[in-house]
Amino acid sequence: LEDHLTGQRDYDLLVIGGGSGGLACAKEAAQLGRKVAVVDYVEPSPQGTRWGLGGTCVNVGCIPKKLMHQAALLGGLIQDAPHYGWEVAQPVPHDWRKMAEAVQNHVKSLNWGHRVQLQDRKVKYFNIKASFVDEHTVCGVAKGGKEILLSADHIIIATGGRPRYPMHIEGALEYGITSDDIFWLKESPGKTRHLTDVALECAGFLTGIGLDTTVMIRSIPLRGFDQQMSSMVIEHMASHGTRFLRGCAPSRVRRLPDGHLQVTWEDCTTGKEDTGTFDTVLWAIGRVPDTRSLNLEKAGVDTSPDTQKILVDSREGTSVPHIYAIGDVVEGRPELTPTAIMAGRLLVQRLFRGSSDLMDYDNVPTTVFTPLEYGCVGLSEEEAVARHGQEHVEVYHAHYKPLEFTVAGRDASQCYVKMVCLREPPQLVLGLHFLGPNAGEVTQGFALGIKCGASYAQVMRTVGIHPTCSEEVVKLRISKRSGLDPTVTGC
């Protein structure tokens, strides 16, 4: 420890957390010729689920979620196939075990790939749980029980978050699972109850592969997103088989003698109590920052008293000059993989390449991978009105029917796009919201224009690609204020 205290440090940069943001930092610094180490450790979930290097996105987030979402979409396409001349015997059964094994094998290949990339860049990887000893030093215990001390001139905390359990509810921890577990189940979860505000994506793909799925929502679904779009997401899911219990709160979970789980809940309006029986209960009530074991107080790093997330400035700096934090562990940052990656790379370039570029957290695009996908960038209609006033906001909108839906006779009543603009010419675009197939692909393209300050006039002068869903964005002619029917008829 004496060497660490006297300033002879092991690394130029130590990254705590081997998720998307942390790995991006480590690789960027190594490419700039710095001596780098990554410390990563996954605490098993209460149900015992564990995984490898790569963080939430790779192991229990974006990647397995999108693949299982794709499995559900394929089920819908199989139902469409006879309309297009394919003789497919219906119904077509789904094999959870086969899907799960394929998804898990892909995730494991990514785990291995990340380790190889670190090795190729000469980044030292330690699979230990790190905690601060002082502001330049962390310690951890290796598998053999040996204590390891690591010191660095600069430290970046990128530990992300973990799902929250409602500890006040009887049986929640003993019998419930979270997103940490659902993607690693060997057997089908069966009849599932999502006790949640934010599990719409999981509920969507479970319904899509034929499972009986119920979502309990106590308050506002998709909090923080445009609420008109959120309502349409719910409407679409409800019309395609997902059950919803609105304004209800669970009170206990019990295991019955036959192994099923009995959930008791209360209607928050009437106070009436009710029960239901399920195979699986999945909690998705938010996430907590993974900081508890870091001993941040030993280093002097300040956290929010309300959320326990780390407080940083515009340069990702904490209350300690050489300690930084990025990603989901940070107060007030979007919990999105690409923002953590970009913030990490820009931070490293400032530290080791003399750059002055800061991460811009405005107009960050994202997509909710519900059965009918919802993509957005910029302000929601509510945010635009709150920021600029109703009289200064113009909203252009349209319902549309994807060409692919026509032959199969699919319901397109929730396929909808709206553009939120300033009313004064040239009508700067404040936000774009798209509900329909491939929403992520659509939104990513328009995000560039909005990031560059596109106006409504410029979007309307953009030639669409026909016949696509994306072209509906450049055909928006009807404003909400006009009161005209926003339904688009195809050519």
Buried b (16+ CB within 10 A) or exposed e, 367-376: bbbbbbbbbb
Among all residues, which ones are annotated catalytic? 466
Strand segments (E) across 347-443 = 366-368, 374-378, 393-399, 416-422, 429-435
**Per-position DSSP letters for 44-64, written without gaps between them:** PPTT-----TTHHHHHHSHHH
Our measurement of the distance from residue 472's CA atom to the centroid of its chain's CA atoms, rounded to an integer in Å, reads 26
Distances in whole angstroms, Cα of residue 374 to Cα of each of 194, 236, 365, 406: 20, 11, 11, 20
Task: Give, in order, the Cα–Cα distances in Å from 148 to each of 14, 65, 299.
Answer: 14, 35, 17
- Say if CB 99 and CB 107 are below 8 A apart: no
The amino acid occupying position 484 is L
- Farthest-apart Cα atoms in the chain, separation: 76
Helices (H), 223-291: 227-239
Q: How many CB atoms lie within 10 A of CB 87?
A: 6
Contact 400, 488 (CB under 8 A): yes
Task: Report the DSSP pairing between strands 192-196 and 213-217.
Answer: parallel
Amino acid code (one letter) for 183 = F
Token pair listed for 250 = 């669970």
Helices (H) and strands (E) in the chain, counts: 15, 22
Residues 6+ apart with CB under 8 A from 8: none
Strands 323-325, 243-246: parallel, antiparallel or unpaired by DSSP?
unpaired
Q: Is 399 helix (H, G, I), strand (E, B) or coil?
A: strand
Q: Extract the tokens encoding 8.
A: 């002879």
Known binding-site positions for NAD(+) = 286
Contacts 24+ apart (CB under 8 A), 390-393: 391/423, 392/422, 392/423, 392/424, 393/420, 393/421, 393/422, 393/423, 393/430
Among positive and negative, which fits the CA dihedral 114, 119, 121, 125?
A: positive
Cα dihedral 321, 140, 344, 66, rounded to 10, equals: -150
Annotated binding site: 66, 286, 328
